[in-house]
Structure 1
């Protein structure tokens, strides 16, 4: 076994540096496009690629007048880089945690349209976390509830905030706050100027309603309308459809207030009880870290404190 690998170089910090240059070149699809990403001159990138090829013992890519293209060997090496970089980063995070430091990357996923929700003071949570862990690189991603849950299970997120409670065995979740939802129409919709509740309820049976891909829609006094309109996974897309005047749909009150105040939307049946979406702060049992635990606690502290204050 030793003889078989005798010509394979040991992986050094210098090799990792060269491999990251190669990865950036592949991502940019060429040496010239990678210059801005790497902050290096074209000649320096070319020299470092050549050094890497000499270290490995084969050509990684063709570059020249015919353009950039990976060789078969280069393709195989590039496919191995993501797990390699992840492993190195994970090892460094473990070492940092053993030393008592909070470092590395932390990926947080959340749904859209929460910046205006006073019951969800996420900025305060971010502030508290960065004070406790200034060396942790925080990545915040906005996505649909379905994608957030799958990303948490897959290990792409360390923590998520979602209006859908995950049922996967590998996920820990805690309910943190509720968001009030009401039914809205746009200024161009036929119901915008209708004030009679009976006529509105009757019209809802024939009205096109947007359908959230992740939530069951409530019934309003059992009008038997169906969600026959377009399916949405984000509040932003739902608001755009409602503003078109062709559809009605549910939005959080705090989010819709901007358009209501501008007389571009109105809430239908304001005296009818609205429904509430329960939000959950979730972490993975299998992809945890000390940084993730600290982040989760920072978020739980501010979200549950706000909940107790508003109760």
Structure 2
């Protein structure tokens, strides 16, 4: 059976249909399942399942297990996934270099960033994206919003060509990282929380350490601002943190620009801002060796757009 499967792979013709099926497979492998990949693909689970069945039939291989035990790539699936990433990387590199040879930027550029960037007036990411399109109108820009650990892994496996992330600690030295700005993080609670009406001078370290704390999945539970918070929930996204705070059950840190609207509406309250504040540095990261000109151009647009 294995020899027949290998024979089928060697004779597989890679046309538009096969490339489309492989892109579906790469997306669900990246997101870790059919349901998790729905949003990025814009497909229903039934459609994804049909595409996967057709791909497996063409390859003669079982690529993943899906069922009550969850989603998991088979050994053959992992090998095909690695080969798929290499294939798409080669295609994108060819398109990029062809455009450069023709004197213009073209092809596609995959950019990953964390959430809650729209309200950041200092960064002005939307302005940078507009400038990038003006400079490289033939480049097809794909944007994905993900947690920092997902961005790092995506940069390593070729899912992204450039990322904007608040941490670069897990990236090896062959990636170029450049600091672009620092985001101010402050501590909040919502109306209905026991601390909402407590005066700042009465908010002691011990009182804060008694509260259920909503942290980030990519942060360690080490003390923050000299407070050893009682972690009770964690999320990689600012929207997740905001939801936990609005429940009235937790306290947690949010970017000041992201929390501003909820504070003005009286939904959130700052807690001891003179003590409970820190800066979170953000970086642009992309391959140091032979980066695409499009990635460099986007990095330039983001840096020059900082206010």
1:72 and 1:298 map into 2 onto residues whose CA distance is 42
1:176–1:280 CA contact under 8 A, matched in 2? yes
Q: CA deviation at 1:206?
A: 0.9
User: What secondary structure is seen at the aligned counterpart in 2 of 1:209?
Assistant: strand
Which of residues 170, 181, 205 is equivalent to 2:209?
A: 205
> Displacement, 1:76?
8.7
The answer on whether the counterparts of 2:21 and 2:55 sit within 8 Å (CA) in structure 1 is: no
Could you say if the C-alpha distance between residues 174 and 262 of structure 1 is closer, same or farther in structure 2, counting changes exceeding 3 Å? same
Q: CA separation in 1, counterparts of 2:12 and 2:219? A: 52
- Asked whether the 8 Å contact 2:112–2:164 carries over to 1, the reply is yes
Aligned-residue offset at 1:88: 3.5
Say if 1:106 and 1:158, in contact at 8 Å, map to a contact too. yes
Q: Name the structure 2 match of 1:57.
A: none
- Spell out the pairing of 1:116-155 with structure 2 (5 A cutoff): 116-155=119-158
Q: How far 1:16 moved relative to its partner?
A: 2.4
String of CA shifts for 1:1-50, please: whole Å, max 9, x gaps.
xxxx9xx9997xxx6245447769999x9xxxxxxx9xxxxxxxxxxxxx
Q: What is the rounded CA distance, in whole Å, between the counterparts of 1:90 and 1:204 in structure 2?
A: 51
Query: What's the Cα RMSD here?
Result: 3.4
Q: Distance in 2 between matches of 1:243 and 1:136?
A: 40
Call closer, same or farther: CA 1:124–1:189 in 2, change over 3 Å. same
Deviation track 1:267-298 (CA, whole Å, cap 9, x = no partner) reads 01133362111111111124621111111111
Asked if 1:269 corresponds to 2:268, the answer is no
**Which consecutive residues of structure 2, in runs of 5 or more, have no partner in the other structure?**
1-6, 27-33, 35-41, 43-49, 64-76
Matches within 5 A, 1:1-311: 16-17=15-16, 19-20=18-19, 70-71=56-57, 73-75=59-61, 79=80, 83-84=86-87, 86-166=89-169, 167-215=171-219, 219-220=224-225, 222=226, 224-272=227-275, 274-286=277-289, 288-303=291-306, 306=307
Contact 1:103 1:135 in 2 (8 A): yes
TM-score computed with the length of structure 1 as normaliser? 0.72
What is the TM-score when the length of structure 2 is the normalising length? 0.72
Indicate the SS of the match to 1:108: strand
Structure with bigger gyration radius: 1
Question: Gaps (5+ residues) in structure 1?
Answer: 30-36, 38-60, 62-66, 307-311
Structure 1, residues 59-86: CA drift from partner, whole Å, max 9, x if none? xx9xxxxx97954754499946665455
Q: Distance in 1 between matches of 2:274 and 2:203?
A: 15
Any conservation in 2 of the 1:218–1:275 contact (CA below 8 Å)? no
Q: Deviations over 1:224-270 (max 9, x none)?
A: 43342112211111111011111100001111111111111100113
Structure 1's 296 and 271: CA in aligned 2 closer, same or farther, altered over 3 A? Answer: closer
The answer as to whether partners of 2:85 and 2:158 remain within 8 angstroms in 1 is no
